[in-house]
Amino acid sequence: MKHVFRHVADQTRARPEAIERIQRRLVAEIGDPVEVRARLAVVPAVADGAEDRVLARLAASQRQLRPHPARIAVLGTLLAAAVALFIIQEQPLELTGSLSATEWQHAQPTPLVALAFQGEGVLGGNEGAPHIEWRTGTLKVEVEPNRGVKLDVQTREAVVRVVGTGFSVDRSALGTTVAVTHGRVSVACEGGGNSMLGAGEHTVCMPTTAAGLLGRARALTEQGAAASDVLVTIDRGLSTAAPGPVREELELARVETLAGEGKWSEAYAETSRLVSGGAGARRDDLLHLRARYGFAAEGCRGAAGDLRAFYTAGQASYDELVVLADCVNTTDSVLAHDVLVAASALATTDEERADIAARLTVQ
């Protein structure tokens, strides 16, 4: 039987070029040749006495078998498999590294995995099961199929698992978008819901935190998305937001979205409710919005009170002073004159200065 061990050892002995290739890869990833040699020195070898124990077990088994050439051949095959599986153990190479690039970069952390990325993330796991924490930007992944590689990509909103395929993960303020070029992937969204995607399919995992949903709402607004879609995102954020700055920003975004759709009465009512409730650090901004929305919804009746307060406190803008002067001109011409004088001091263009001069002349 010893010749079987020798045969297996000969067949599984590491080739010099393979050892050199692994050493180069370790040095490239770790950066310290001394550390590489230290790691290789602790790779487990065949335990003492392992060969004798296997031979003893085989001898006991042979006493229970009738000698037959076919059985001996099968026994040799099984022995080779046993030795390869239990004695010669291959340790997977641990992966560590940063993925960060403002322009497209390419990397091949293992012979069976290729990456293209523009953004930021962290690579971990091992050669058989790479793990990527993707933070922002776009990551494209290609995994050699049918080679047993179990790769996953995790973002704040999703976990993507794959065995042999090509796909991309894009993380932005909108959430995490997963698109498959070929093969199949499973996607588990943090907010609930699992998807199995095939070639040409994609899905979006939305943010789950109030701050994340605020970012999504702002991104949707910048992209010109429908107000209804923006409001759905804002309302979802408000449903989980605790009192504080994030909630105040969501509330402000909501009234501005309503006004952007020309829903002045709704925006005015909502802003008035928020101001009555305190409105936190955004109170001054909401007061000015209430005056604007109130004028759009109800004319002078809805804006005059706030505009007078701004004028008295010296906080009115040029446009607000002009509107206030128009609103009080028929009932208090002296106040209207004083307001226009104050507006002239805030005029920044020749057109604005000419307009104020004309109004004062009429008075």
Nearest to 47 by CA among 13, 83, 87: 87
Same domain as 75, residue 195: no
* Residues 237 and 310 both lie in one domain: yes
Question: What pLDDT does residue 1 have?
Answer: 52
- Per-residue model confidence (pLDDT) at position 277: 87
Q: How far apart are CA 87 and CA 48, in angstroms?
A: 11
Could you please report the per-residue DSSP string of 159-204?
EEEESS-EEEEEEETTEEEEEEEES-EEEEETTS-EEEE-TT-EEE
Strand partners, 133: 122, 154
Give the Cβ contact number of residue 313 at 10 Å.
9
**For residue 68, how far is the Cα from the chain centroid?**
64
Residues 194-243: pLDDT tens digits? 899 999 999 999 999 999 999 999 999 999 999 999 999 999 999 999 99
Specify which residues 140 forms β-bridges with: 116, 168
Do 217 and 355 belong together in one domain?
yes
Query: What pLDDT score does 90 carry?
Result: 47
Provide the H-helix boundaries in 239-299. Answer: 245-260, 264-276, 283-298
User: With the CA atoms of 144, 147, 150 and 152 taken in that order, what torsion angle do they form, in degrees rounded to the nearest 10?
Assistant: 0
| Strands 194-197 vs 151-154: parallel, antiparallel or unpaired | unpaired
CATH of the domain at 226: 1.25.40.10
Regarding whether 273 and 175 lie in a shared domain, the answer is no
The domain containing residue 246 runs over which residues? Answer: 210-362
For residue 282, give the DSSP letter: G
Q: State how many domains the chain has.
A: 3
Residue 130's pLDDT is what? 94
- At residue 220, the pLDDT reads 95
Where are any strands of DSSP class E within 16-112? 97-110
138 forms beta bridges with 118, 170
pLDDT tens readout for residues 237-293: 999 999 999 999 999 999 999 999 999 999 999 999 999 988 788 899 999 999 999
Cα torsion 64, 69, 71, 73: sign: positive
Parallel, antiparallel, or unpaired for β 151-154 and 130-143? Answer: parallel
Q: Which residues contact 134 (CB under 8 A, 6 or more apart)?
A: 99, 119, 120, 121, 153, 154, 155, 169, 171
The DSSP symbol for 316 reads -
Residues ≥6 apart with Cβ < 8 Å to 142: 113, 114, 115, 166
Same domain, 179 and 237: no
Domain identity same for 7 and 81 = yes
Give 264's strand partners.
Answer: none
Which residues, 6+ apart, have CB-to-CB distance to 308 below 8 Å?
324, 328
Query: What CATH number does residue 138 fall under?
Result: 2.60.120.1440
For residue 92, tell me if it sits in a domain: no
Residues 110 and 175 in one domain: yes
pLDDT on residue 361: 84
216 and 358 housed in the same domain: yes
From the list 201, 111, 109, 212, the residue with the least C-alpha distance to 153 is: 109
Per-residue pLDDT tens digits of the chain, which is 363 residues long: 555 445 545 555 555 655 666 666 655 555 555 555 555 544 444 545 555 555 555 555 454 445 455 444 444 444 444 444 333 344 567 888 999 999 999 999 999 999 999 999 999 999 999 999 999 999 999 999 888 899 999 999 999 998 778 999 999 999 999 999 999 999 999 988 889 999 999 999 999 999 999 999 999 999 999 999 999 999 999 999 999 999 999 999 999 999 999 999 999 999 999 999 887 888 999 999 999 999 999 999 999 999 999 999 999 999 999 999 999 998 999 999 999 999 999 999 999 999 999 988 876
Residue 47 lies in a domain: yes
CA 113/CA 314 separation, integer angstroms = 64
